Each structure stands twice: as C-alpha cells, then as structure tokens.
C-alpha cells in the first residue's frame, strides 16, 4: 500500500489520529495549536482535505466538519480524510473573520514562515497539509449579516473542478475565478483541486446550509470511491455562470420581499427601502431574471450597499435578453 504522510506523521491503514500543529504563542504564553484529524481506510484511495474556519466567525463550516467527525462519517473505506474544523483559532475565539493583526488568512497564501500571523498560518497549511492531499473542500459562510444560499464555487473551465462540483451537487454551482492569495488558488498551483462550499450567515447556525454541506461532502466521497453510499440531492443543481449585485440607490431601511434561493423574473419586486422618518418609500425591482444566491439581512443600509446577489444560468440569460426588433 502507498505511504501516507500528513504534517510529518505517517498514517497507517485503518488508523485515526489527531495531529496538533503549533502555530504561535499568545502574550499570555498560551500555546495556539491547530488540530488535524486524519482517518485512513483499509484500502488505498485519494486524500481529501476538509478545511473550515479559515474565517473565525464562519461557524457553519465548522459545524459541518464537526458533525462529520462526531458521526463517524470521516472514516472512509478507501483513501484518507484530513479534517480541520477550525483553521483560524484566533478569529474563532474573538468572533472575528481575521487574526489579531487584522489580516485575512485566505488572502495570505502561500504564506511566509517569518511573516505576519496570517501569513504564518497560511505557510503552515501550505507546507504541512496541502502537498499531501489530492482534493479538498474549503467550507465558508456568508459575511456578517449576509446569507449565502448553499453553493459550491470553483473555476469550472477546469474539467476536474467541474467534476468535483457536480459530484457535490449543491443547489448552486458557481463559476468563480480564483481570488488572489487564496487557499484555492495556491493549492491549484501545486496541482491540487480544492472547491469552496458557501452556505448561511456568519455567527449564526443555518441548518439547511449545514445539512447540504454534509450531504454534498458524502456525495463527493462516494464519487471518489472513498465510501459506497451517500444521500441523494434534495434540490436540482443549477450552474451559475455570472453574478451581479443589486445595490441601494438610497440610504434607509431595507426589507426584502424575496427569500434566498428564490428565482426572480426581470422587473419583479424584490424589496423596499423606506426612510425611518416616513419621508419616502422606494420599491426595488430585479434588473434581470436570475436566482437570489446571496441576501443582505441588515435593515439599516447606506447608499451603494449590496442588497442581494443575483446569479444567472443559461436560461436566465435567455430570459433577460432583449427581444430582437
């Protein structure tokens, strides 16, 4: 059987082990370690990484990986799972997206051993884990007070990425270019295929997003022949080829009239902005047909704020196209 090494530890067939990577030390002398849970099946197969908590306030991804571990779903028949429920322990402890120096780990790859705290965390991940995997799912959540409908993001022109995204079979698959200095981009430079799963809102559990994330992970593991069975999708998968934000033209109080995941037609009424003093009321209409894949939950908004993200598949493009004259 092939040799499997993660973070300097050789993993034997049938073994489950916890590996702690020392990251840094707090001013209080408290040691910060990132736990990695590795489970190897009795037969050879691919190495799949499940990473969550890159942003410390995105708890839905953490809960997905936690439930996978808690229920024993991380134990493959074939291959290896590498589970990291919380990459950014600093952010998790402080209810924050970033690390204490204000930097974003997912904009700090490939990292630097002697750089900023975010850069050091990225460096450890790129040297201790990523070189030894074949595939990965990086779990994320919508930003503060913004819901993302369950979705996979990937560069779909890559046939392997498309295959992984289709196997995961989330409600939406979004063609998303690489973000500079992200884990997904730097892993791709090393020939690794990592897809991103997004669902729910920061600092708030979203049961649908959690359940979709678990089910999609199991479907991907089945596709990779790591396990033999997985739940069937509850919703039809739609591929989104482009997106556009609807932004506020005026400041005020925003109330949506649509739900995340909903299909809207061109000119549909999707929300209202009112003045808190009763001086005006503006109805917002969809500029084109599409799906609401992201929705702002903050009532108080300023001019230019993002209200909702509309995604377009091929059918929506045709529906929104002007009628030839």
Beta partners for residue 194, in sequence order: 136
- Strands 290-296 vs 263-264: parallel, antiparallel or unpaired: antiparallel
CA distances from 151 to 154, 176, 280, 311, 313 (A): 10, 11, 36, 11, 13
Peptide bond into 110 cis (omega under 30): yes
pLDDT at position 100: 85
Where along the chain do the CATH 2.40.50.100 domains lie? 242-320
83 Cβ contact list (under 8 Å, min separation 6): 36, 37, 38, 39, 49, 50, 65, 68, 69, 74
* Closest CA relative to residue 108, chosen from 54, 149, 65: 54
Name the architecture of domain 242-320. Beta Barrel (2.40)
Integer distance in angstroms from the first to the last C-alpha of the chain? 66
| Token code pair at residue 121 | 């965390």
| Token code pair at residue 65 | 């990986």
User: Model-level pTM?
Assistant: 0.94
Question: CATH for 5-238?
Answer: 3.40.630.10
pLDDT at position 324: 41
* Closest CA relative to residue 64, chosen from 46, 83, 82, 79: 83
Q: Identify the DSSP state of 45.
A: E
CA distance 274 to 282: 6
pLDDT at position 23: 78
Q: For helices 207-223 and 59-70, give the axis angle rounded to 10 degrees.
A: 60
pLDDT at position 323: 42
217 Cβ contact list (under 8 Å, min separation 6): 50, 64, 68, 73, 137, 168
Query: Residue 28, class by beta-carbon neighbours within 10 Å (0-12 exposed, 13-18 middle, 19+ buried)?
Result: exposed
Torsion-angle region of 191 (φ positive above 0: left; ψ -120 to 50: alpha; else: beta): left
pLDDT at position 193: 98
Q: Identify the DSSP state of 100.
A: T
Q: Enumerate residue ranges in the chain where pLDDT < 70.
A: 315-325
CA distance 142 to 130: 24
| Residue 316, helix vs strand vs coil | helix
pLDDT at position 325: 40
pLDDT at position 32: 80
Where along the chain do the CATH 3.40.630.10 domains lie? 5-238
pLDDT at position 24: 76
């Amino acid at each position: 059987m092939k040799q499997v090494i993660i973070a300097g530890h050789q993993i034997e067939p049938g073994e489950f082990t916890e590996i702690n990577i020392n990251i840094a030390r707090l001013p209080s002398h408290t040691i910060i370690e990132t736990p990695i849970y590795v489970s190897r099946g009795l037969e050879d197969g691919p190495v799949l990484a499940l990473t969550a908590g890159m942003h410390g306030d995105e708890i839905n991804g953490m809960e997905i990986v936690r439930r996978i571990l808690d229920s024993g779903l991380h134990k493959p028949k074939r291959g290896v799972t590498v589970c990291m429920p919380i990459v950014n322990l600093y952010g998790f402890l402080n209810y924050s997206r970033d690390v204490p120096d204000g930097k974003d780990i997912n904009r700090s790859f490939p990292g630097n051993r002697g750089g900023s705290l975010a850069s050091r965390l990225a460096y450890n991940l790129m040297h201790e884990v990523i070189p030894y995997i074949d595939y990965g799912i990086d779990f994320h959540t919508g930003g503060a007070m913004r819901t993302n409908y369950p979705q996979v993001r990937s560069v779909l022109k890559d046939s392997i990425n498309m295959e992984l995204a289709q196997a995961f079979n989330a409600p939406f698959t979004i063609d998303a270019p690489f973000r500079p200095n992200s884990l997904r981009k730097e892993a791709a430079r090393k020939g690794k295929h990592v897809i991103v799963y997004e669902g729910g809102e920061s600092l708030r559990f979203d049961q649908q997003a959690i359940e979709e994330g678990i089910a999609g992970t199991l479907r991907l593991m089945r596709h990779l022949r790591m396990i033999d069975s997985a739940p069937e999708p509850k919703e039809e998968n739609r591929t989104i080829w482009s997106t556009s934000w609807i932004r506020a033209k005026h400041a005020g109080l925003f109330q949506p009239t649509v739900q995340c995941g909903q299909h809207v037609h061109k000119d549909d009424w999707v929300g209202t902005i009112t003045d808190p003093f009763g001086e005006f009321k503006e109805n917002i209409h969809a500029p084109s047909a599409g799906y609401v894949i992201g929705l702002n939950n903050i009532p108080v908004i300023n001019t230019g704020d993002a209200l909702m993200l509309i995604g377009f598949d091929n059918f929506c493009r045709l529906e929104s196209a002007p009628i030839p004259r």
